[in-house]
């Protein structure tokens, strides 16, 4: 036994010094280092000044198709959190002659510059840090070079530090120390960033290991990475000690008092000889109608040789699989990193259970049947939306999703206050309330924005508009939620005799009308004053103590009458007036007043009153703004407001304003404006529809162009928020365009959106809608329960995130990247109206 153990250790250590392959890294035309199976990006994606550390920047390793490391840079923390300072990168130089990429990293707050030089060396790269001036004294012991590794790709695997064998744990473990807050480097723009309740101290993680040679995952050739340093200790940290979204961090401190080349690493990612990425067979996990187009898009490694054919197999009642169809593979071409081919099996109409076979690869099963789309929005409307009702106790069977949040209400945000979620209170409050004065009556109605618990007013405006359109066009009578506004109580899966959609319209309108009436205009946001509260996970009711802050009380002291406390945890109302936002609210109020009439007549009348007032005041305010700003702000918001007010009141002035604004807007951007134009058709005469027809033809040209742009034929977003929202809006527009202009816009284009959402997209083929596409929906999402690596049913992920210069990704084992996994109330209610319009089209 001892001999076997010894031999095993010898083999493991041999693997540590004998990589599986010897393919050298080379600098390619896209300005990153590459060999087959390894892409090493060097500041292709930069840190942002918005949310700072978004885990999407720096030196990044895409290892056998998965981005497993990121954040390589000089950093000021052992385990950086989201709002820690990040370096600006004012200069990046690529030198193909020397196989080198060099970048300047600057911390303006400390007047601290460094240069990071990355040079290809055999199967790896040398990373060197240069200083022209020594590390500033206040950063000594804090500034170091970091590289972060994705925990979900490494937990359960082993690592060796100077030959000492350890294993990465599934759940965070490790030792910490605490030290006084006054010793903490100011990295958070002055925000209160941690809960010092009872201690006045904060946590500092200790390294798991240290040494000069680190080998990650020697037993897994796809994830094996070796890091060595001749001149600095390597420190290995588990960033999850401080935050659930932390990564494993490899770090070396920069030496004090030195200049020139002060630190160097050699990083050698293993590349498997002959590795070819497995085909990603994109198809709809929900399934297909017998009569619809059925085209699988197969994503291939560019070194993979496409096959000539693929097959469709049908699973019979006895469980036996038989070939139902075999067809040719059609080439589409290259799109960024991969090559794409298509498999068309539209000729298969027989209902049943099927899977696709492409060479040695076969998909999970899917269904062809007439009812596959019947329930695609049920989880969103029955579960996700009611769970996100703010200021309510939300129950589901034995589970409480959250108690009643924010009984303490909202305080007036002080002037000249920056907010960590990109909001700002201007030089005045723009209200009658003093700084930190309680604004009564705002803690009613509204919806949590996303994975956090704030009310983003702009999002909530769009949400109510989505609900109203869903109600007015499709009249969904679905009733699966009990809502009692008096008790502030919601119970899932419990009908109460009222269509859920009406109750959602009411709930959203209540908060927005309260803002307009009490503040006098729309708030930017109702959000957290304390960063610790903002990144709170779990029950929203425990985010604050439910008692308004009383400055006359000591910290954490409760008043004798129990009605206030000395805890500075209250939510703030950011109230700087934005007339463009007021215009959007006016649009929504006009629409909501119609939907609520006969259900909640008082709220209906108040909404219409606020719509007219805000339209008048906002128009006057915009007239005083510079022409370029006011023109943009008027734009589609004013267009929609006048349309909704005309529909609600029938008054000619609103119709005239709508017509005046519409045609120039369509000339400027038809794809952005056409949906609003289509919504006007039922309310105008035949000449309007005739005049609109050429613009629909122009929109068809846009649709046809998408077929040439990418293999999926949908508008794919390439920003730092993935593009499912744009795809959903595209699908909704197709549905309404086909409804009114079927001779121009074919219904088949709408199926491109369902295909994309339910699995036919780059990177993987999982459904992007939680619990929809039962064979293989995504397993984890970014929500307020993300620390549990779970999802809230009905959540719609932003989807496939693009990383410059050519990589698409969507993690299904790591929920914490919001740009690809966070469902929002705006996005999910847009999906609700799309699903309703799509089902109507199918009928």
Buried b (16+ CB within 10 A) or exposed e, 238-273: bbbbbbbbbbbbbbbbbbeeeeeebbbbbbbbbbbe
Task: Confirm if 665 and 635 have CB atoms less than 8 A apart.
Answer: yes
pTM score, two decimals? 0.93
Q: Which of 742, 679, 676, 755 is nearest to 714 (CA)?
A: 755
- Do 428 and 573 touch, CB atoms closer than 8 A? no
Token pair for residue 77? 């923390």
Place of tokens 């480097």: 185
Largest CA distance in the chain: 93
436 contacts 596 by C-beta, under 8 angstroms: no
Domain with CATH 2.60.40.10 in the chain: 283-368
424-425/417-418 β-pairing: antiparallel
Task: Look at the alpha carbons of 129, 132, 134, 136 in this order and tell me if their dihedral is positive or negative.
Answer: negative
CATH no. for 2-269: 2.70.98
Which of 370, 605, 709, 813 is labelled catalytic?
A: 813
Task: Please give the Cα distance from 377 to 754 (Å, whole number).
Answer: 12
Would strands 234-238 and 248-253 be described as parallel, antiparallel, or unpaired? antiparallel
* C-beta separation of 828 from 781 below 8 A: no
Q: Which residues of 374-389 are buried (b: 16+ CB within 10 A; e: fewer)?
A: eebbbbbbbbbbbbbb
Cβ count within 10 A of residue 302: 11
CB neighbours of 397 closer than 8 A, spacing ≥ 6?
A: 492, 493
CA 221 to chain centre: 31
Q: Is-catalytic flag, 813?
A: yes
Strands 410-412 and 571-574, sheet pairing:
parallel
DSSP H helical ranges for 81-204: none
Query: pLDDT (tens digit, 9 = 90+) per residue, 363-399?
Result: 999 999 999 999 999 999 999 999 999 999 999 999 9
Q: How many residues are listed for the chain in this entry?
A: 843
Catalytic residue among 81, 408, 506, 822: 822
> What SS3 state is found at 680?
coil
Under-70 pLDDT residues of the chain = 1-22, 179-201, 627-637
Two tokens, residue 352: 């049943």
For residues 20 and 35, the answer to whether their CB atoms sit within 8 Å is: no
Strands 144-149 and 66-75: antiparallel
- Between CA 838 and CA 292 the distance in angstroms is 13
Distance CA 389, CA 829 (A): 13
Cα separations (Å) of 124 from 29, 219, 701? Answer: 18, 19, 47
3-class DSSP string for 664-704: HHHHHCHHHHHHHHHHCHHHCCHHHHHHHHHHHHHHHHHHH
Residue ranges, comma separated, of all CATH 2.70.98 domains in the chain are: 2-269
To the query of whether residue 822 is one of the catalytic residues in this protein, the response is yes
Instruction: Give the whole-angstrom CA distance, residue 460 versus residue 454.
Output: 10
Residue 10, Cβ density class (10 Å: 0-12 exposed, 13-18 middle, ≥19 buried): exposed
Give buried/exposed letters for 805-823 (b at 16+ CB in 10 A, else e).
bbbbbbbbebbbbbbbbbb
Instruction: Find tokens 């209400």 and name the residue.
Output: 409
Strands 525-528 and 158-161: unpaired
Class of 283-368 in CATH: mainly beta
Tokens at 464, concatenated: 């109510």
Please give the structure tokens belonging to residue 598. 């006969």
| Chain centroid offset of residue 318 CA | 43
CA distance 154 to 248: 9
In DSSP terms, 26 is beta-bridged to: 34
Instruction: Tell me if residue 74 falls in helix, strand or coil.
Output: strand
In angstroms, what CA-CA distances link 450 with 326, 485, 562, 784, 794?
A: 44, 22, 32, 8, 13
CA 343 to chain centre: 31
Identify the residue whose tokens are 């959540």.
795
């Amino acid at each position: 036994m001892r001999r076997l153990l010894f031999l095993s250790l010898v083999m493991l250590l041999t693997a540590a010094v004998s990589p599986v392959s010897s393919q050298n890294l080379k600098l390619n035309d896209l300005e990153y280092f590459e060999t087959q199976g390894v892409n090493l990006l060097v500041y292709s994606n930069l840190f942002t000044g918005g949310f700072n550390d978004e885990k999407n920047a720096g030196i990044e390793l895409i290892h056998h198709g998965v981005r497993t490391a990121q954040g390589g840079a000089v950093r000021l923390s052992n385990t950086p959190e989201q709002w820690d300072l990040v370096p600006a990168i004012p200069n990046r130089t690529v030198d193909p002659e020397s196989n080198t990429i060099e970048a300047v990293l600057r911390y303006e707050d400390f007047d601290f510059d460094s240069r990071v030089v990355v040079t290809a060396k055999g199967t790896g790269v040398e990373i060197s840090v240069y200083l022209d001036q020594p590390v500033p004294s206040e950063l000594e012991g804090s500034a170091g070079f970091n590289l972060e590794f994705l925990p979900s790709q490494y937990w359960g695997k082993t690592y060796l530090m100077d030959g000492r064998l350890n294993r990465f744990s599934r759940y965070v473990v490790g030792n910490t120390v605490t030290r006084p807050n006054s010793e903490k480097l100011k990295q958070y723009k002055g925000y209160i960033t941690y809960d010092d309740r009872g201690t006045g101290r904060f946590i500092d993680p200790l390294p798991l290991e240290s040494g000069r040679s680190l080998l990650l995952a020697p037993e897994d050739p796809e994830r094996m990475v070796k890091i060595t340093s001749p001149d600095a200790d390597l420190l290995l940290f588990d960033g999850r000690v401080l935050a659930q979204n932390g990564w494993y961090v490899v770090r070396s401190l920069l030496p004090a008092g030195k200049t020139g080349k002060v630190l160097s690493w050699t990083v050698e990612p293993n590349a498997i000889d002959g590795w070819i990425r497995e085909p990603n067979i994109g198809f709809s996990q929900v399934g297909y109608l017998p009569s619809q187009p059925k085209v699988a898009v197969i994503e291939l490694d560019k070194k993979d040789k496409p096959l000539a054919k693929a097959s469709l197999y049908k699973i019979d009642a006895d469980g036996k699989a038989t070939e139902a169809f075999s067809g040719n593979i059609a080439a589409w071409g290259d799109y960024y990193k991969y090559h794409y081919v298509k498999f068309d099996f539209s000729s298969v109409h027989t209902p049943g259970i099927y899977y696709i076979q492409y060479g040695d690869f076969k998909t999970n099963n899917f269904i062809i049947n007439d009812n596959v789309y019947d329930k695609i929005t049920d989880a969103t409307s029955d579960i996700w939306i009611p769970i996100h009702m703010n200021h309510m106790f939300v129950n589901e069977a034995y589970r409480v999703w959250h108690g009643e949040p924010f009984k303490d209400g909202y305080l007036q945000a002080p002037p000249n206050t920056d907010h960590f979620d990109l909001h700002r209170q201007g030089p005045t409050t723009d209200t009658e309330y003093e700084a930190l004065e309680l604004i009564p009556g705002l803690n009613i109605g509204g919806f949590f924005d996303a994975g956090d618990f704030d009310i983003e007013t702009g999002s909530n405006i769009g949400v109510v508009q989505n609900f109203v359109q869903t109600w007015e066009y499709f009249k969904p009578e679905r009733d699966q939620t009990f809502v009692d506004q008096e008790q502030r109580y919601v119970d899932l899966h419990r009908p109460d005799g009222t269509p859920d959609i009406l109750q959602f319209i009411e709930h959203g309108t209540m908060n927005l009308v309260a803002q307009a009436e009490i503040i006098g205009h729309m708030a930017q946001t109702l959000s957290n004053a304390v960063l610790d509260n903002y990144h709170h996970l779990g029950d929203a009711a425990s985010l604050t103590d439910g008692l308004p802050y009383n400055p006359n009380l000591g910290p954490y002291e409760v008043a004798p009458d129990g009605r206030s406390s000395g805890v500075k945890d209250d939510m703030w109302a950011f109230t700087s007036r934005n007339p463009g936002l007021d215009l959007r609210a006016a649009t929504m109020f006009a629409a909501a007043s119609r939907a609520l009439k006969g259900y909640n007549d008082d709220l209906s009348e108040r909404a219409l009153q606020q719509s007219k007032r805000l339209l008048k005041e906002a128009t006057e305010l915009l007239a005083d703004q510079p022409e370029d700003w006011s023109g943009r702000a008027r734009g589609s918001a004013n267009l929609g407001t006048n349309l909704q007010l005309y529909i609600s009141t029938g008054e000619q002035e609103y119709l005239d304003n709508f017509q005046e604004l519409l045609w120039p807007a369509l000339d400027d951007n038809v794809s952005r404006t056409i949906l609003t134009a289509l919504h006007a058709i039922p309310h105008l005469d035949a000449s309007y529809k005739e005049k609109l027809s050429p613009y629909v033809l122009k929109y068809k040209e846009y649709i046809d162009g998408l077929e040439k742009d990418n293999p999926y034929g949908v508008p794919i977003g390439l920003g730092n928020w993935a593009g499912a929202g744009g795809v959903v809006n595209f699908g909704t527009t197709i549905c309404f365009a086909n409804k009114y202009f079927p001779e121009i816009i074919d219904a088949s284009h709408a199926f491109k959106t369902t295909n994309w959402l339910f699995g036919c997209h780059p990177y993987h083929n999982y459904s992007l809608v939680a619990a929809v596409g039962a064979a293989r929906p995504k397993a984890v999402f970014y929500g307020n329960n993300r620390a549990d690596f779970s999802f809230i049913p009905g959540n719609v992920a932003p989807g496939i995130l693009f990383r410059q210069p050519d990589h698409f990704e969507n993690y299904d084992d790591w929920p914490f990247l919001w740009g690809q996994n966070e469902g929002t109330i705006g996005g999910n209610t847009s999906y609700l109206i799309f699903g309703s319009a799509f089902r109507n089209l199918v009928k």
